[in-house]
Amino acid sequence: MENRDIIKGVIFDLDGVIVHTDEFHYLAWKQLADKIGVYFDRTINERLRGVSRMASLDIILERSDAAFSDTEKQLLADEKNDTYRELLKTLTPADVSADVKSTLAALRQNGLKLAIGSSSKNARFILNQIGLENYFDAISDGNNISKSKPDPEVFLKAAEYLCLKSEQCIVVEDAEAGIQAAKNGGFTAAGIGGASKYNLTDISLNLLSDLLKYV
Ligand code: B16
Ligand code: MG
């Protein structure tokens, strides 16, 4: 049987796939790191893709000599999130590329169910900013999971919300942790950006619209 007979749904990571909030994450973490005197650059930032907020902070604090209590870490994460959300307010529907918009429309027209599978607790806020809050059939995000990528929970929940099995869904990801999560959950993993080149990636995408060749 061909892929297009088996696949009934597509689960999209949000940051780095639907919209590029990754630069805002970088700017907000950089501001915090500079304030507490910890070295942080874009190479370290790549390790934060798809990783939860607290796990991201732990990666940044690897370079700190100071020990932070859980309460102090929570305050630092909150401060970063405040900065990040201020930046998110500048997002508009124009920040979604024409390629993303036309691909979503074509997939929907082909009868596929569409979901978001994002680690972010700000996913609904972001979707609202870019005008896609009511577009997806299901949203699974950082608020409905207890384990973050590479654990497959966020994608398994998305498939459950779509009433589909893992093997009926393609997951589209830009992060290594996300590709691992997709494979751990039994999904077909499509990678875009840096994730197009990972060993575990089943389908390499240059543009999101390349997905239309497979469904
Ligand atoms: P928040 P995704 C992820 O989104 C980001 O890639 C990652 O950098 C971020 O730390 C994580 O969301 C949590 O985000 O602080 O907004 O809850 O790629 O899974 O859509
Ligand atoms: Mg991502």
Q: pLDDT for 112-169, tens place per residue? A: 999 999 999 999 999 999 999 999 999 999 999 999 899 999 999 999 999 999 999 9
Cα of 173 from ligand 2 centre, angstroms? 6
- 50 exposure class (CB count in 10 Å sphere: 0-12, 13-18, 19+): buried
Query: 52 CB less than 6 Å from ligand 1?
Result: yes
User: Which residue's C-alpha comes closest to atom 7 of ligand 1?
Assistant: 50
Cα of 125 from ligand 1 centre, angstroms? 12
Looking at residue 59, its pLDDT comes to 96
Q: Is pLDDT of 2 > 70?
A: no
Query: 15 CB less than 6 Å from ligand 1?
Result: yes
Check: CB of residue 11 under 8 Å from CB of residue 116.
yes
Average pLDDT over residues 95-106: 98
Q: Is pLDDT of 202 > 90?
A: yes
DSSP 15: B
Pull the structure tokens for residue 42.
């874009």
Query: 48 CB less than 6 Å from ligand 1?
Result: yes
Query: 50 CB less than 6 Å from ligand 1?
Result: yes
List the catalytic residues: 13, 15
Cα of 24 from ligand 1 centre, angstroms? 11
Query: 16 CB less than 6 Å from ligand 1?
Result: yes
pLDDT digits (tens, 9 = 90+) for 168-192: 999 999 999 999 999 999 999 999 9
40 CB neighbour count, 10 Å cutoff: 19
Work out the percent of the chain whose per-residue pLDDT is above 90. Answer: 95
Residues 6+ apart with CB under 8 A from 199: none
User: Which residue's C-alpha comes closest to atom 12 of ligand 1?
Assistant: 120
Check: CB of residue 23 under 8 Å from CB of residue 193.
no
Q: What is the largest CA-CA distance in the chain?
A: 57
56 CB neighbour count, 10 Å cutoff: 22
Check: CB of residue 32 under 8 Å from CB of residue 12.
no
Nearest C-alpha neighbor of 15 from the set 73, 68, 91, 75? 91
The residues placing their C-beta within 5 Å of ligand 2, an ion, are 13, 15-16, 50, 174-175
pLDDT band at 5 (very low <50, low <70, confident <90, very high): confident
Average pLDDT over residues 7-16: 97
Looking at residue 160, its pLDDT comes to 98
CA distance 51 to 44: 12
Q: Is pLDDT of 4 > 90?
A: no
